[in-house]
Chain A
Amino acid sequence: MMADATTPGGGLLVLALMLPAVGMLAIFALGLRHAERIAHATLLAGLAVALAVAVKVGQSGQAMTYLIGGWRPPLGIALQADGLSAVLMVMTAVILCAVGVFARGSFSSPRDGAETRRPFVFWSLFLGLWSALNCAWLARDLFSLFVALELLTFSAVPLVCLDGSRETLRAALRYLLFALAGSVLYLMGTGLIYGAYGTMDIATLHHLTRADWATSLALGLMIVGLMAKAALFPLHLWLPPAHAGAPAAASAVLSALVVKAPFVLILRLWFEVAPQPASTPAGAMLAGLGAASILFCSVMALRQARLKLMIAYSTVAQVGYLFLVFPLVMGSAAVTPWESVGWTGGVLQLVSHAFAKAAMFLAAGLIAEALGHDRIADLGGAAKAVPVTVAAFALAGLSLMGLPPAGGFIAKLMLLTAAVETANWWIAATILAGGILAATYVFRVVGSALAEAPEGAGTTAIARSRELAVLALALIAVALGFLPLQPFDYLAIGRGGMP
């Protein structure tokens, strides 16, 4: 839909971008000692904004738009919340709030008043990341999206090396360099597009793009650049050490949210910028990489000895499912992509994985705190020490395995239905095999956690509120399983103008 004018309430979108930024500035200005309190206040306000946007979008049944400075695209810059953006905003806000509650223990400022680096860095990056994510969900031109991605990378990388050890510094550097390579590719593609069409506004490009070599090259560069940032196999080299090395609160945000932003951009490029109908072999290639990601990295997850590394590999595998949607949507009989089961399944997979993976990383963090280590083989006694956390881990695992009743089940069932409908049997087989592998690696952990504690193993007590924050995320992942098995009208809001 072209952004013609600011819609009522459009200012909320600006607020969504600015609130975290203001919170960040406040941390700088008002003394680093209050970092946590400021961040929590910002979280509450930001959650309210996200919910307000989602309600307004649902009520009006139309996308919400804000024209910055009143200039219409392609001259000006527009922010727009369609159904998908609104869902992503709420997802982001809810997960960050839960992580905020969880992180209270880990990064709170010391009582003696001395300002330390860790809480300050963590909370300000945390808010910066949020601003970047909202920008990625709301921006509607290729350059603003580039800015969002860079802001995201620069907020995410330091979170990886927060503890300052040699190992995590190496992981962060790896992450930074590879993300940078991705950015370069993306930027090259953007340049090509601008050279060919003289605009970067997605809605304008939608009607302009031609199937020529320059456009193909531009899209190829941008999509692969984004794939590197999403850590799709075989470009996943940076993710396992980075996500496993970060503190649990950061890992959760990185795995649940940060890798999703480049994927959402790929979705927008594919369905809104690329000339339609998009290339079938290219779609098959993306799905093929997704399938390889699922199988290869699930096996890798199965072979990890450390819990956090296992979860990190599982993220690469789960991101693979998202890339299956391209052939499923293109082959479907639905009139528009948003009405197909495949697209809905893909979005639901994104959302349910976000909640489940956040819960899992946080649970792993609590288990590691309680037991003092995260070796999967020696998790015995965890169920006694932190029963609520282990239950949350199991529930989140249910969603990853794709078992009912969990969001992951509905998502995988939709993807499977789409695969059968479009006769993509290899995709159906991959989805099922991925489910079996996921069940195996989750059961391995749960089984180990349920075992009796070894003699003389001490445990550290964990605050109940932190355990409940993890459980809340896992329960949301499960509750998504009660969504009906059909395309949701909400996700199609604001896409009327798109053929």
Chain B
Amino acid sequence: MTAAGLLIAASVALPLLMALACLWPAFRDRAADWLVIAPLPALLAALLARGGSIVVAPPPLRLTLALDDVGAMLLGGAALLWAAAGAYAGSYLRGQPGLARFAVWWLLTLTGSLGCFIVADMTSFYLAFSVASLAAYGLVSFEGSTRAQRAGRVYMALALLGEAFILLGFVMLAIGAPQGNPLIRDAVALFPAAPLRDPALALLILGFGLKMGLVPLHVWMPLAHPVAPMPASAALSGIIVKAGVIGLIRFLPLEAALPGWGATLVGAGLFTAFYAVAVGVTQTQVKTVLAYSTVSQMGVVAAVLGAGLMTAAPGTALLAGFYALHHLLVKGALFLGVGVVMATGPRHRKLVLAVMAVLALSLAGLPLTSGALAKYAVKPLFGDGLAATFATLSAAGSTVLMLHFLRLLGGAAKPGAETPPAGIVWPWAVVALAAFAGPWAIFGGATALPLAASLGAKALWAALWPIGLGAVLWAGLRVLRLPAVPEGDVIVLADRLAPVVARAGDAVEQADGWLRRWPVAGMMLAGLAAGLSVLLWAGS
């Protein structure tokens, strides 16, 4: 048991203990003030304990935590955002009813989401993933409005569906592995030759894709992310979607070339990237636009992973992780920033909006921002075919969406706003700073590319022209009248199913009443006895 191992264990132990401590009313009432410290062990672990591991329970249970490079990268980013958003929440939600309840859901979600990055065995992964998914329901539906309740229901239904996909996928994956609870690494090593490889892969991509919001499994995201309180939106859109990313990174057999599956993922990812932009520009709520932007960006991450899977390109996991880290920090800063903008009076507005503009365009790969680095890092994976063209064009799409966002944000101030409270400004500033500087600091470690080349004229031009194109497109779109698309777009189709479901439920209830009548039950008893006897006789 090493110090590094203990630090890794503490990353999930501290938030879990804090959640348990909420059973005591004395702690529960003040828990919201302490949210900032919950992710600190994880932050330390990401900085100091890379490469460490700890076996929490020996085989056959085999509960194991380990921190590899990609895990450390995402853990560090996630812990930083959780800490900042936690501090932000303490100030932003002060005095709101149900704050203690919010803190409990927050701590549980935090535990699960950080756990996803460090668990090394399959059962623990499922556990961490489920905790993050299910506890986030409490954050989504916190406000209690009709809108929040609907978002919560849709979120829950799809989250449970995703869990079912993943569980079945895991079972199929583990069939070939030794009995018990295999390490993810060992199970995935057997994956390419597994008898049920293709259905298992399909299920895992569906399950994790749902968490990342791959179209058409994205419908919950534009409902759920905007309706949560601001710091929770930042965590959901920045961090929780990364549970899907780390799932794909961990479970796709990236070291074996599977061109068919890779191409499928590239196709689904790029389609998602453009689709979300197309729907996103029709939205009129600031936070909803950001949610669609997350869908779009996660599409790019899926495409990156698919491209790597096609050719078994080395380093794919780290590159995808690097891109995801950039999105995590930027999206977190953007959501937190929306709250800051709304609380800022005209005097300081320009400064805040300028920072937000750079952050937003960073998602489109604005030169010299961390976004440009992220795009630059993943570019070689796409080669120079059709996929590469579309991947580049997705930056133009992001530009359109982000300009739309900035325009809405400019008009989003509350009248009478003055200086925003320090309690929400500094967390935002910290995350924004990390979003700019963090990816620069770890670029060398995460990618094998020369940093200097990313500043060359060629790279700058490659980053710049899609943004220019996007700006032109955006200007063109302003002339058009865009149709009003409801939040969650195709989810409205599901609403039409509601009466059908209700009728089916009524039918079940009627059938139950009928079956529970005496004559019917008596007939059933006799019929079943006769039927079973015949089958026993005929079958043996």
On chain B, the residues within 8 Å of A181 by CB distance are 522, 525
On chain B, the residues within 8 Å of A281 by CB distance are 535, 538-539
Q: Describe B's contact surface by its main secondary structure.
A: helix
Q: Cβ of B23 and Cβ of A388 under 8 Å apart?
A: yes
A451-B533 Cα distance, complex, nearest whole Å: 51
On chain A, the residues within 8 Å of B517 by CB distance are 237
A274 to chain B, nearest CB (A): 7
Q: Cβ of B521 and Cβ of A213 under 8 Å apart?
A: no
Cβ-closest chain B residue relative to A276: B540
Taking the complex as formed, is B186 at the interface, i.e. its CB lies under 8 A from any CB of chain A? no
Q: Cβ of A416 and Cβ of B536 under 8 Å apart?
A: no
Q: Cβ of B181 and Cβ of A485 under 8 Å apart?
A: yes
Q: Cβ of A282 and Cβ of B528 under 8 Å apart?
A: no
Taking the complex as formed, is A221 at the interface, i.e. its CB lies under 8 A from any CB of chain B? yes
At the interface with chain A, which of B375-383, B421-429, B468-476, B507-515? B507-515
Taking the complex as formed, is A11 at the interface, i.e. its CB lies under 8 A from any CB of chain B? no
Q: Which of A227, A236, A279, A484 sits near B536, CB closer than 8 Å? A: A279
Taking the complex as formed, is B130 at the interface, i.e. its CB lies under 8 A from any CB of chain A? yes
A416-B537 Cα distance, complex, nearest whole Å: 29
At the interface with chain B, which of A111-119, A253-261, A434-442? A434-442
A443-B512 Cα distance, complex, nearest whole Å: 23
Taking the complex as formed, is A420 at the interface, i.e. its CB lies under 8 A from any CB of chain B? yes
B163 to chain A, nearest CB (A): 8
On chain A, the residues within 8 Å of B138 by CB distance are 450
Chain A interface size, as a band, is 35 or more
Interface residue ranges of A170-228 to B (CB < 8 Å): 178, 181-182, 185, 211-213, 215-217, 219-221, 223-225, 227-228
Taking the complex as formed, is A7 at the interface, i.e. its CB lies under 8 A from any CB of chain B? no
Q: Cβ of A219 and Cβ of B123 under 8 Å apart?
A: no
A207-B528 Cα distance, complex, nearest whole Å: 27
On chain A, the residues within 8 Å of B126 by CB distance are 404
Q: Which of A220, A221, A280, A417 sits near B174, CB closer than 8 Å? A: A417
1/0 per residue, CB under 8 A from B, across A235-258: the answer is 111000000000000000000000
Taking the complex as formed, is A48 at the interface, i.e. its CB lies under 8 A from any CB of chain B? no
Q: Cβ of B535 and Cβ of A279 under 8 Å apart?
A: yes
Q: Cβ of B537 and Cβ of A285 under 8 Å apart?
A: no
Q: Cβ of A299 and Cβ of B505 under 8 Å apart?
A: yes
Q: Using A413-B167, A443-B137, A452-B97 as known contacts, say yes or no to A486 and B60 having CB atoms under 8 A apart.
A: yes
Q: Cβ of A275 and Cβ of B168 under 8 Å apart?
A: no
Cβ-closest chain A residue relative to B506: A303
On chain A, the residues within 8 Å of B180 by CB distance are 484-486
A399-B508 Cα distance, complex, nearest whole Å: 25
Q: Cβ of A420 and Cβ of B515 under 8 Å apart?
A: no
A221-B526 Cα distance, complex, nearest whole Å: 9
Interface residue ranges of B93-130 to A (CB < 8 Å): 97-98, 101, 123, 126-127, 130
Taking the complex as formed, is A143 at the interface, i.e. its CB lies under 8 A from any CB of chain B? no
Taking the complex as formed, is B497 at the interface, i.e. its CB lies under 8 A from any CB of chain A? no
On chain A, the residues within 8 Å of B512 by CB distance are 296, 300
Q: Cβ of A300 and Cβ of B61 under 8 Å apart?
A: no
Q: Describe A's contact surface by its main secondary structure.
A: helix
On chain A, the residues within 8 Å of B537 by CB distance are 211-213, 216-217, 279
On chain B, the residues within 8 Å of A234 by CB distance are 515, 521, 524
Cβ-closest chain B residue relative to A274: B536
On chain B, the residues within 8 Å of A5 by CB distance are none
Q: Using A275-B540, A300-B512, A450-B101 as known contacts, say yes or no to A420 and B171 having CB atoms under 8 A apart.
A: yes
Q: Cβ of B515 and Cβ of A237 under 8 Å apart?
A: yes
Interface residue ranges of A255-296 to B (CB < 8 Å): 274-275, 277-282, 285-286, 289, 296
1/0 per residue, CB under 8 A from A, across B150-178: the answer is 00000011001101100110011011000
A278-B517 Cα distance, complex, nearest whole Å: 33
Cβ-closest chain B residue relative to A313: B512
A236-B521 Cα distance, complex, nearest whole Å: 8
Q: Using A236-B516, A281-B539, A484-B60 as known contacts, say yes or no to A217 and B533 having CB atoms under 8 A apart.
A: yes
Candidate in A387, A413, A450 with the most chain B CB atoms within 10 angstroms: A413
Taking the complex as formed, is B196 at the interface, i.e. its CB lies under 8 A from any CB of chain A? yes
Q: Using A281-B535, A282-B535, A300-B508 as known contacts, say yes or no to A235 and B521 having CB atoms under 8 A apart.
A: yes
Q: Which of A277, A303, A413 sits near B540, CB closer than 8 Å? A: A277
A6 to chain B, nearest CB (A): 35
Q: Cβ of B533 and Cβ of A219 under 8 Å apart?
A: yes
B187 to chain A, nearest CB (A): 13
Taking the complex as formed, is A426 at the interface, i.e. its CB lies under 8 A from any CB of chain B? no
Q: Using A303-B509, A435-B164 as known contacts, say yes or no to A185 and B175 having CB atoms under 8 A apart.
A: no
Taking the complex as formed, is B13 at the interface, i.e. its CB lies under 8 A from any CB of chain A? no
Q: Cβ of A223 and Cβ of B532 under 8 Å apart?
A: yes
Taking the complex as formed, is B529 at the interface, i.e. its CB lies under 8 A from any CB of chain A? yes
Q: Which of B130, B168, B509, B524 sits near A235, CB closer than 8 Å? A: B524
B77 to chain A, nearest CB (A): 26
Cβ-closest chain B residue relative to A185: B529
Taking the complex as formed, is A421 at the interface, i.e. its CB lies under 8 A from any CB of chain B? yes
Interface residue ranges of B468-510 to A (CB < 8 Å): 505, 508-509
On chain B, the residues within 8 Å of A227 by CB distance are 528
A246 to chain B, nearest CB (A): 18
On chain A, the residues within 8 Å of B534 by CB distance are 216, 220
Interface residue ranges of A359-417 to B (CB < 8 Å): 387-388, 391, 403-405, 413, 416-417
Q: Which of B167, B522, B540 sits near A416, CB closer than 8 Å? A: B167
B95 to chain A, nearest CB (A): 15
A392-B376 Cα distance, complex, nearest whole Å: 51
Q: Cβ of B516 and Cβ of A237 under 8 Å apart?
A: yes
Sort A-B residue pairs by CB-CB distance and give the 8 closest, nearest first: A279-B539, A220-B533, A216-B537, A484-B60, A237-B516, A211-B540, A282-B535, A216-B536
User: Would you list 12 pairs from A and B whose C-beta atoms are within 8 A, ordered by A residue?
Assistant: A178-B521, A185-B529, A224-B532, A274-B536, A296-B511, A299-B508, A300-B512, A387-B25, A416-B167, A420-B196, A432-B167, A452-B98
Question: Which residues does B use to contact A, with CB under 8 Å?
Answer: 23, 25, 57, 60-61, 97-98, 101, 123, 126-127, 130, 134, 137-138, 141, 144, 156-157, 160-161, 163-164, 167-168, 171-172, 174-175, 179-181, 196, 505, 508-509, 511-512, 515-518, 521-522, 524-525, 528-540
